[in-house]
Amino acid sequence: MEFKNTGKKFFYVFVIVITLSINLLSIIAGKYISMNLDFPGVLIFWLCIMILTYGLKFILWIILHRKFQLSFIYPFLSLNYFLSLYVGKILFNEPITLKKIIGSVIIVAGVCVITMSGNKLESD
């Protein structure tokens, strides 16, 4: 019994991580689209990636919404603000400032507080 419950928890954590990753990929695709408006081949490639990632995110959100309350799972998307700082620096050479770091830390702290809240499941 305990193993089944652990497996379910791992599954939902996995789905949350995959959803965050797919959302981050859609953000990256949007940035590449805006940078390559003059190159139709590149534009179409990233547009296809963006459409695919939004579709996958939609399906994964349905899975998560069936199990968790919206007020619990939605703040996890805010973690992309933190992750996008580093992706922006690595892929697009965007600056990371102290204000951006402080803001991201506040967001992550808020997600941690929400994660520790009592009622997370729809069935509770």
Each residue's pLDDT, cut to its tens digit, for the chain (124 residues) gives 444 567 787 888 899 899 999 999 999 999 988 888 788 888 899 999 999 999 999 999 998 888 888 877 888 788 888 888 889 999 999 999 999 999 988 988 888 887 777 666 666 5
pTM of the shown model: 0.77
The residue ranges of every structural domain in the chain are 2-115
Sign of CA dihedral 41, 27, 62, 3: positive
Predicted pLDDT of residue 120: 65
The contacts of residue 84 (CB under 8 Å, 6+ apart) are: 24, 27
Dihedral sign computed on CA atoms, order 23, 27, 30, 32: negative
SS3 of 121, please? strand
